Structures are given as C-alpha cells and as structure tokens.
C-alpha cells in the first residue's frame, strides 16, 4: 500500500489503476471504516484497486463544532487501511484540496434541511462539495459508505443522480460494539458514565421496531417509545431529534411502511451521536 498526498501523484496513479473502488473518510479510523475498506476490496476483486481518502474537511464543520479537536491519527489510519486491503491512501493537506480563493461550492436544497442538517446548516453542502471533488480526482467506478450516517448516504445518492456522476454507491450496515453502540470516532469524547448510557440509542430504536412489527405503525407511538426509553436509560443524553422518515426522500412520515427509517441524534455533553434503523 502507498500513501500519497498530492493531486498530481493521485492522478498519475489513477491513469494506470484500472477499476477503482473508493472509500472517503475523515480519518480517526476504527473497525467500522475497516469494514468499508474490506467491502471495497471485495467489490474490486483481484484485478481492481481500492483507494481510501483521509481528509478532515473544514467545509463541513460549522462555527463552534469540533474541527480543531477532531482526532488526527494518520499513522494508525494507514496501518488499518493496509491491513484491510487498500492499495492507495490519499491524505492531502487542506491547501491541496481547496484553492485559497475558491468561489464555487455545491448547495443541496432539500434532503439536507431536516434531521442532522436542521441543526448543522451548511454541513451537507460541505460534504457534497468535498465528495464531488474527490470523485473528480479519484474517478472511482464504485464508492462505499456506511449507513450510520444515513442522511449523508441519501444525499450523496442524490448528488450522483442529479449531477450524472458515473459512480455506483454502496451502503454498508453499521458496525457496532457488542453492546449495540454504533462505532464512531466521536465515541472517544464520552465520559465513562455517558459511554455506559450510549447503547440506549440503538436499544430505543429496536424497541420501536419491535412495536412496529406488532402492528403499531403510527409515528407518534413509535417516537414516544424511543423518547421514553432514552429518558429512562440515558438521562445524561439530550435528544436533538427523533424522527420517522422515508429512507429515500427523508420526508417525515405519519405511519411506518416498508421504506421507513427511524433516525436519532443525541448529545452527550459535547459529543453528538447519531443512529438509525431501517424498518421492514
């Protein structure tokens, strides 16, 4: 595996790489990211190549968010990528990605106005801008993203569709700790007490899912179960949102159906955790 940090080196590699499967990341990699790289390796096959990017994108951090303290662990990240089967890691400095006088940015005007986007204005514009740039640079045939950030995946599917970007997107199920907590680089911000309560996010969603299977499909009923469980099991948490939405359009639903997604965001101190569950 080779680590490159300039656009020129990336383009030189891409000219001879053949089929490429791409995994964009912001670093601070964990087993969830390793699963994405392993899936990319599987999709690429023996003759394809796997590219991973590690770039902490300043455009997707709002005022007061954790850009400065976001963990940078490049040496450990490179080791994880090599073990999981990556062929190239593109880890550029900011000035290699953005011109100092840049004046063009992508704006998403529908799917980003709800859920995480409602409390993080501009975040998904930054995501769309950097992913579009990375797609232009890497020119992958396929790209792999985790379903933990389901809104991001839905928005990037819309980006690829609306801008006719020739990349096939693949969503991979969330990788979890044994107690159900979704793996996240931000879990390291949790205190021991908060970490003990954090698995209640997925447990609350599973409780609502079980109720749905028993025939309780009204959004109010399902979301009340989520909120009540969190109040009882995670009193240190503060709910940002709990929502029942269509998994493709992210529009709120009054009743669950086969396209429904339960989505949740909870603050523990300064750490904001997200989770979700697809309903049958």
State the catalytic residues: 33
Nearest Cα residue to 139 out of 6, 44, 20? 20
Nearest Cα residue to 245 out of 214, 216, 223, 215? 223
- Give the whole-angstrom CA distance, residue 222 versus residue 18: 48
Q: Which residues contact 210 (CB under 8 A, 6 or more apart)?
A: none
β 168-172/49-54 pair status: unpaired
**Residues 174, 178, 181: CA angle, nearest 5 degrees:** 50
- Give the whole-angstrom CA distance, residue 39 versus residue 26: 18
Radius of gyration, CA atoms only, the chain: 19
Helices of type H across 15-68:
31-44
Nearest Cα residue to 109 out of 148, 62, 170, 159? 159
């Amino acid at each position: 595996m080779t680590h490159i940090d300039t656009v020129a080196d990336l383009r030189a590699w891409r000219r001879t790489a053949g089929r490429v499967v791409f995994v964009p990341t912001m670093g601070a990699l964990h087993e969830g990211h390793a699963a994405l790289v392993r899936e990319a390796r599987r999709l690429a096959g023996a003759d394809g190549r796997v590219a991973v990017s590690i770039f902490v994108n300043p455009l997707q951090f709002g005022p007061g968010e954790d850009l400065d303290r976001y963990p940078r662990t490049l040496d450990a990240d490179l080791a994880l990528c090599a073990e999981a089967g990556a062929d190239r890691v593109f880890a550029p400095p900011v000035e290699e990605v953005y011109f100092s006088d840049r004046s063009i940015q992508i704006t998403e005007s529908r799917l980003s106005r709800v859920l995480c986007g409602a409390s993080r204005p501009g975040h998904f514009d930054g995501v769309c801008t950097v992913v579009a740039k990375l797609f232009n640079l890497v020119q992958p045939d396929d790209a792999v993203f985790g379903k933990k950030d389901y809104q991001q995946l839905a928005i990037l599917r819309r980006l690829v569709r609306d801008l006719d970007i020739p990349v096939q997107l693949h969503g991979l199920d969330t990788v979890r700790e044994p107690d159900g907590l979704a793996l996240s680089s931000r879990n390291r911000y949790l205190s021991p007490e908060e970490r003990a309560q954090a698995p209640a996010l997925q447990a609350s969603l599973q409780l609502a899912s079980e109720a749905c299977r028993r025939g309780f499909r009204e959004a109010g009923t399902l979301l009340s179960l989520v909120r009540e469980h969190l109040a009882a099991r995670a009193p240190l948490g503060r709910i940002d949102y709990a929502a029942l939405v269509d998994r493709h359009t992210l529009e709120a639903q009054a009743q669950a159906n086969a396209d429904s997604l339960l989505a949740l965001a909870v603050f523990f101190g300064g750490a904001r955790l997200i989770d979700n569950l697809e309903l049958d």
